[in-house]
Amino acid sequence: MDDYPLLNIFATMMWFFLWVVWLMLLFQVFGDLFRDDTVSGWAKAGWSIFVIVLPLLGVFVYLIVRGKGMGRREVAAMRERESRYYEAAERRAADRTTGQADELTRLADLKNHGELTPEEYERAKAKVLAI
């Protein structure tokens, strides 16, 4: 430990942190590039080569040229995912309500035909409504 001073440890941690940030930024750029349907295949290939051959310059140029649209596309994708989530939640709630109504109708028929006692019916009904 004597041959690696504290300041070098901090410098190593800083470089490691910058490397992780760089990788996150690189993945964000590639993710945005390949999710964007308005960009042709040739343009995607060109941007990819530019970012791979000259990584620092390529990412910064990409952020300057397409940065504003990058944010808009991300917000649009988040809104679309949110709307799909709420639609699925509404469908599940409707299915659950319909399922409860069907089950209660079936229990009422069983009670009316004498196959369930009133106590059994009330217990089963409470069980269905508790779900």
Question: What pLDDT, on a 0 to 100 scale, did the predictor assign at position 1?
Answer: 57
Domain extent, residue 11, equals: 6-130
pLDDT, one tens digit per residue, over 40-71 is 999 999 999 999 999 889 999 999 999 889 98
pLDDT, one tens digit per residue, over 68-116 is 899 899 999 999 999 999 998 888 877 766 677 788 888 888 889 888 8
Is residue 52 in a domain?
Answer: yes
pTM of this structure:
0.58
Is residue 1 in a domain?
Answer: no
Question: What pLDDT, on a 0 to 100 scale, did the predictor assign at position 97?
Answer: 66
**Directed axis angle between helix 6-35 and helix 55-112, to 10°?**
70
Is residue 99 in a domain?
Answer: yes
* Number of domains making up the chain: 1
- CB 119 within 8 Å of CB 125: no
Can you tell me the distance from the alpha carbon of 111 to that of 120, in angstroms, rounded to the nearest whole number? 9
